[in-house]
A and B are shown apart, each in its own frame.
Chain A
Amino acid sequence: MAAAASMMPIFGHQISSKNDLVLDWSREEVSTGTTIMAVEYDGGVVIGADSRTTTGAYIANRVTDKLTRIHDRIYCCRSGSAADTQAIAEVVSYQLGFHSVELDEPPLVETAANLFRASCYRYREELMAGILVAGWDRRKGGQVYCVPIGGMLVRQPVAVGGSGSTYVYGFMDSNYKPGLNKDQCLELTASALSLAMERDGSSGGVIRLASISEDGVERRVILGDQLPRFSTH
């Protein structure tokens, strides 16, 4: 009878953990999977991002705005954990606003970048945030600063970030040249984001672009059917 018992099929197997009763997306962390990009040009910067926020395999928000205003002429592009990056951006926004009132003049992009870096480095073990800080100020013009996971700070003429960025390093290296004008930067950013969104499952939706210069901030959206298309076989 021992033999029979071992051959018996198991009907209705045990639920191994409470998690099985709960849907996948309600226990996964919300992350901005993402592709973000920022490019400097003479007189300003162009920034861009996709618009997908995922919790596991569910797209929690397909029209996210990952380009967050920190100050009048300073924006940041957020990637990583949605909660972490939103919290950091709010903190930096407050700190920069206060600093700007003390100084009685518009803050520097480098200052904003350093504030991001200070938070990201101090709490590096708890946070998962990759941020691009970009903007215009009177001292150095258009600047892009990269604050990746871990809390490093480096200025670069062109920077990409997020899970989709790995797919477009090659495209960016071959297509970026110093000395591009604003429209060329917008086109480069839109193309790169479109290519990344094609390949990365965590990036998608629409492309949000913004250009920041002395004259202000111009925002635009490229919808799904207007995305740059490439010959795919």
Chain B
Amino acid sequence: MLGEAEPQWLSEEVKTGTTIIAIEFNGGVVLGSDSRVSAGESVVNRVMNKLSPLHDKIYCALSGSAADAQTIAEMVNYQLDVHSMEIGEDPQVRSAATLVKNISYKYKEELSAHLIVAGWDRREGGQVFATLKGLLTRQPFAVGGSGSSYVYGFVDAEYRKGMNKKECQQFVVNTLSLAMKRDGSSGGVAYLVTIDEHGTEEKVILGNDLPTFFDQ
């Protein structure tokens, strides 16, 4: 009678509401994500990096249930390390994506996470794979998470084949910014990861440095 109801965020599942995007260019890939983690209506982490490394030159972007997505990423990280030692060289992006897909498909009823896998390898260059609900498909670019619905029109209109690295980074930042403005479950800062044959570059773009649009 005296006690207050416990705060909502203690009982709600923790989700990375999210907007994630990955795009390939000639020679590499760019991945981007927002940084908001919500539990019901509360934001429990406003600076979470949802771009998780699977290997030196292979990253994955997390969305959906935070626990599920992180666990899949950690499991695949381990499996990929073992695999890469067995073959004695850096793993292919397709191998990483297949490992993610295998887990997503086998446990599709229990899990609710969508990972986009992207990276660079020597054989095929930059590649982006979508693994939604256990499928595996290579795409020139992929968007995911709750915020992605709001930017389908934008990415369809703005994407052109043959963009270079800088244009891809700008494309990712613009897309994230628009989605973060419209989706209540996406927000915070934007994380960017650029992978090419020379290495991996991680960048953070703070809220006030994000591109703004007509009503801001």
Q: Indicate if A166 sits at the interface (CB-CB under 8 A).
A: yes
Q: How far is the CB of B211 from chain A (nearest CB, A)?
A: 9
Number of interface residues of B (CB under 8 A): 25
Is A174's CB under 8 angstroms from B213's CB?
yes
Among candidates A166, A196, A233, residue contacting B139 with C-beta atoms closer than 8 Å:
A233
How many A-B pairs fall under 8 Å by CB?
69
Is A177's CB under 8 angstroms from B214's CB?
yes
Please give me the residue from chain A that is nearest to B182 by CB atom.
A169
| With A173-B178, A173-B181, A173-B182: A199-B214 Cβ-Cβ less than 8 Å | no
Residues of B contacting A16 with CB < 8 Å? Answer: none
Q: What's the Cα separation between A110 and B113 when bound, in Å?
A: 46
Is B214's CB under 8 angstroms from A171's CB?
no
Q: What's the Cα separation between A173 and B158 when bound, in Å?
A: 13
Q: Indicate if A12 sits at the interface (CB-CB under 8 A).
A: no
Is B154's CB under 8 angstroms from A231's CB?
no
Contact digits for A169-192, partner B, Cβ 8 Å, 1 yes 0 no: 111111111100000000000011
Is A173's CB under 8 angstroms from B152's CB?
no
| Residue with the greatest number of chain B CB neighbours at <10 A, chosen from A167, A170, A176, A198 | A170
Q: How far is the CB of B23 from chain A (nearest CB, A)?
A: 11
- Since A168-B154, A169-B182 are in contact, a sample of 8 more A-B pairs with Cβ atoms closer than 8 Å, ordered by chain A residue number, is A169-B151, A170-B153, A171-B151, A174-B154, A196-B153, A198-B156, A231-B159, A231-B160
User: What are 19 of the A-B contact pairs (CB < 8 Å)?
Assistant: A169-B151, A169-B153, A169-B178, A170-B155, A170-B178, A170-B179, A171-B151, A171-B153, A175-B157, A178-B214, A191-B157, A192-B153, A195-B152, A195-B153, A195-B156, A199-B153, A231-B159, A231-B161, A233-B140
Interface residues of B (CB under 8 A from A): 139-141, 149-161, 174-175, 178-179, 181-182, 213-215
